[in-house]
Amino acid sequence: MEFDFADEQPKLLMLMYGLVAFVVVVGGLLLLLDVVPAWFAKRREAQLVAASTSGTPLPRRPKQREGFFAFFFLLPTLLLLAVGLVVPAIRTMLLSLMDGSSTNWVGLRNYGWMFSDDSIVRVLINTLVWVVLVPLVATAFGLIYAVMVDKARFEAIAKSLIFLPMAISFVGASIIWKFVYAYRGEGDQIGLLNQIVVSLGGEPRQWLLESPLNTLLLIVIMVWIQAGFAMVVLSAAIKAIPGDIVEAARLDGVSPWQMFWQITMPSIRPALIVVAVTLTIATLKVFDIVRTSTNGNYDTSVIASEMYNQAFRYGQNGQGSALAVFLFILVIPVVIYQIRNLRQQREG
Amino acid sequence: MTTATPTVAAGTQKTDAPKTTAGRVRKRLNTRTATLVSIVIAVVWTIPTFGLFISSLRPEDEIKTTGWWTAFTNPQFTLENYQQVLFGRSSSSGQLASYFINSLAITIPSVLFPLAFAALAAYALAWMNFKGRDWLYIAIFALQIVPLQMALVPLLKFFSTGVSLGGITLMPAWDLVDEQKFAQVWFAHTCFALPFAVFLLHNFISQLPGDLMEAARVDGASHPKIFRTIVLPLITPALAAFGIFQFLWVWNDLLVALIFAGGGNETAPLTVRLAEMAGTRGNEWQRLTAGAFVSIIVPLVVFLSLQRFFVRGLLAGSVKG
């Protein structure tokens, strides 16, 4: 049987409902805020007219109602944040102190489990490897590439090609790389990596099954996706270095090496920090790559994917929540560092 | 954030001419080598994607027995794989056309809602005077800290059983079936996007010239009117930047969809289906390669045509938490 478009119509109808809801909510809000003040203005005008004809003293000017209006502008956002983020986050903290079915309090047992269960300790170590390697390698590569490609011919095209993986989903990227890592026991290899190994005289290997190599190979995927981001931000920072500084240094006869360490690096330090911190946060939460490539098997699981497995596959809400809270705790210092840094720049 | 992220300025400094011929030659050689190396790296970077694309066009037995690079010496191309994964109706074939529509139905509202709500909130936080304004802004900004993993379990429970406090039902269960589950996904994506969206748009809106607002206020324009007629047109580039961000984010998302969309072809987006195919049919490369390319093509087109806006958004707030 072929694809039948008629089957898809309920979805499009639902999409239309969504769009209607959007117009009603946003349009309604703006309209309401336009109509209500107009009504007030009209009433005041009428009062003024009445007052001037009857000779009674003028009513006082109404107070500024800015706060009242601001409340309505902020209402959808505040409501959604409370329902969708704040309350659930607090509940997750509570759930992490309860058992799998969320009925009995177990104190800190879930956290104890996290640090004593061998497979979870392995997960924590893997996460650490990810968090160290991804920001480091992706930032370093992005920086080197940004310096190298600066003012080169075809700069725009070369940069676009590196940047392109940013548009690809982690799932898509994982499939792309699974294909690179593909293994055939006999006959021709279809995976590029094994083909290279074979043509160099080696034996083909099952890359994704060998721990700890497989974790590194998954990290390659993340680096491949994120290096373009680092490159774009750092390249913009390099181009923003004032020309006269560069020129003065050049007149002083500094070598390219000195130029890089003494002029370029200090100038782009803020951008470097932003990139490294952003990548660190993104890496801590990496889930799709691990799930699509190995499903967390063969010792490749990380906190975010293990959290999904515990809470949604094994029905262990307590343990899953504990992992989520731990993730949260890991993110906090990184973000605080970022905020402090931004504030310093803003002042300086 | 804008201070953290230098604006893109074309390299305006003059390249001072080297004084000796040798120096000039060396300089040119340096640029040449750098150009060459950077192009080689860019090409290597693209090879995995290119290989996938070539494979997706090859006949099934060819993909399974020979490497995609042999297609250069033995070119055999077909659209059979795409035909199969998109329109095939057997449960193993992919049925991706169906999932493609799901992805669209999920993504469009999930981009529009946070965009509108965040723009309203950012305007209020930047240009309306009320008590606790700065405090509120910081609170919303700080919510970027919360990883969405923290919200998943309770939010799912909230959809399935509603909210009750001390025996009183504050909010009934949503009890959604089939395509109605889109609403859950829209809701989740909107909530999760808001802190970053407010932050990014606030950066732009707060930098609009104050005189403009002042003049409009004096003329008696109301806040909704200022928002509609003055602010919205001026922040279109920022809206575009965030819109592309959010579009790529939602289209490429796996985690939120996996939890809130349900697994079937009534609601699950492409990413969910692909991840499933990679898990259960890891060796059916003819389907996986074509399927992956189907899921990539839309974000790729959006990205390539709107790259300029995307980069601008990236540079304005390179901190998707």
Q: Do B222 and A163 touch (CB under 8 A)?
A: no
A313 in Cβ contact with A291 (< 8 Å): no
The end-to-end CA distance of chain B, in Å, is 14
Eight-class DSSP state of A82: I
Eight-class DSSP state of B56: H
Residue B135 amino acid letter: W
Local confidence band at B14 (pLDDT 50, 70, 90 cut-offs): very low
A192 in Cβ contact with B67 (< 8 Å): yes
Please tell me the distance from the alpha carbon of residue B77 to that of residue B83, in angstroms, as a whole number. 13
A8 inside 8 A of chain B by CB: yes
Q: Do A151 and B11 touch (CB under 8 A)?
A: yes
A288 in Cβ contact with B22 (< 8 Å): no
pLDDT along chain A (348 residues), means of 10: 72 90 90 80 80 68 68 91 91 90 85 91 93 95 90 84 91 92 81 87 85 91 94 90 87 85 88 90 90 87 92 90 93 85 70
pLDDT for position A62: 53
Tokens of residue B153, six digits = 């379990």
pLDDT digits 0-9 by tens, B260-298: 987 777 889 999 998 888 877 667 888 888 889 999 999
> Which alpha helices (H) appear in chain B, and where do they start and end?
21-56, 60-65, 80-87, 96-127, 133-142, 149-161, 182-205, 210-218, 223-226, 232-234, 236-252, 255-260, 270-280, 285-305, 307-316
- Minimal C-alpha gap between B240 and chain A (Å): 16
Residue of A nearest to B96 (CA): A3
A211 in Cβ contact with A299 (< 8 Å): yes
pLDDT for position B10: 40
Please tell me the distance from the alpha carbon of residue A24 to that of residue A21, in angstroms, as a whole number. 5
Give the Cβ contact number of residue A206 at 10 Å.
13
Please tell me the distance from the alpha carbon of residue B72 to that of residue B74, in angstroms, as a whole number. 6
ipTM beyond cut 0.90: no
Considering only CB atoms, which chain B residues are within 8 Å of A7? 98
A324 inside 8 A of chain B by CB: yes
Decide which of B62 and A117 is more confident.
A117
Considering only CB atoms, which chain A residues are within 8 Å of B117? 26, 76-77, 80
Tokens of residue B240, six digits = 């575009």
A11 φ, ψ (degrees, to nearest 5)? -65, -45
pLDDT for position B187: 92
CA distance readout (Å), A193 to A162, A248, B67 = 20, 47, 11
Residue B253 amino acid letter: D
Say whether pLDDT at B123 is over 70.
Answer: yes
Tokens of residue A324, six digits = 């989520």
CA distance readout (Å), A238 to A149, A253, A267, A344 = 11, 20, 8, 20
Max Cα distance, chain B (Å): 88
pLDDT digits 0-9 by tens, B216-263: 888 878 888 888 888 999 988 889 888 998 999 999 999 999 999 877
Q: Do B41 and A284 touch (CB under 8 A)?
A: no
pLDDT for position A297: 84
Q: pTM (2 decimals)?
A: 0.86
Residue of A nearest to B110 (CA): A18
Q: What is the mean pLDDT of chain B?
A: 82
pLDDT digits 0-9 by tens, B23-36: 666 666 567 788 88
Decide which of B105 and B180 is more confident.
B105
- Minimal C-alpha gap between B126 and chain A (Å): 10
How buried is residue B276: exposed, middle or buried, by Cβ count under 10 Å (0-12/13-18/19+)?
A: middle
Local confidence band at B320 (pLDDT 50, 70, 90 cut-offs): very low
The number of residues in chain A equals 348
Please tell me the distance from the alpha carbon of residue B305 to that of residue B219, in angstroms, as a whole number. 40
Q: Do B314 and A233 touch (CB under 8 A)?
A: yes
Spatial neighbors of B311 by CB under 8 A, at least 6 apart, are A232, A236, B8
Tokens of residue A207, six digits = 């890359």
Q: Which of A173, A274, A271 is closest to A224 using CA atoms? A: A173
How buried is residue A320: exposed, middle or buried, by Cβ count under 10 Å (0-12/13-18/19+)?
A: buried
Say whether pLDDT at B6 is over 70.
Answer: no
Lowest mean pLDDT among A13-17, B64-68, B86-90, B198-202: B86-90
The beta-carbon neighbor of B188 closest among A11, A84, A170 is A84
B162 in Cβ contact with A96 (< 8 Å): no
Give the Cβ contact number of residue B303 at 10 Å.
20
Tokens of residue A175, six digits = 């499939």
Tokens of residue B52, six digits = 């996938």
Tokens of residue B290, six digits = 């074509």
Residue for token pair 């340096």: B30
pLDDT for position B122: 94
A219 inside 8 A of chain B by CB: no
pLDDT for position A219: 95
Considering only CB atoms, which chain B residues are within 8 Å of A14? 105, 179-180, 182-183
pLDDT above 70 covers a percentage of chain B that reads 84
C-alpha B163 chain-centroid distance: 31
Local confidence band at B105 (pLDDT 50, 70, 90 cut-offs): very high
pLDDT digits 0-9 by tens, B73-102: 888 888 888 888 888 766 667 788 889 999
Would strands B168-171 and B163-165 be described as parallel, antiparallel, or unpaired? antiparallel
Give residue B220's region: left, alpha or beta (phi > 0; psi -120 to 50).
Answer: left
Spatial neighbors of B228 by CB under 8 A, at least 6 apart, are A30
Give the Cβ contact number of residue B304 at 10 Å.
12
A292 inside 8 A of chain B by CB: yes
Lowest mean pLDDT among A225-239, B188-202, B307-321: B307-321
